[in-house]
Amino acid sequence: MAERRVTVGWAEGLHARPASIFVRAATASGVPVTIAKGDSSPVNAASMLAVLSLGAQGGEEIILASEAEGADAALDRLAKLVSEGLEELPETV
């Protein structure tokens, strides 16, 4: 299983707009990805409600994971998006 631990770069955390950007990127990756915070159970990264339910704040660590083929590249792109707190969905995601 491929996994990336990343610190949330958005000051407001994964709420509203940042969560929407992240979910669109996770969906566009074409790879099933899960996201977790701390000891919480992983949730589907392509689900807006699931991502919001994590309550991930800026500066907190999250864990992105996938067992699919091509997971490493997808997780690298998603980790960059989250850690840099990008405001727009990168074209490469």
Type of residue at 39 = D
- Cβ atoms of 29 and 77 within 8 Å: the answer is yes
From the list 15, 47, 60, 85, the catalytic residue is 15
Separation between Cα atoms, residue 31 and residue 66, nearest integer Å:
8
4 flagged as catalytic: no
Would you name the residues annotated as active-site residues?
Answer: 15
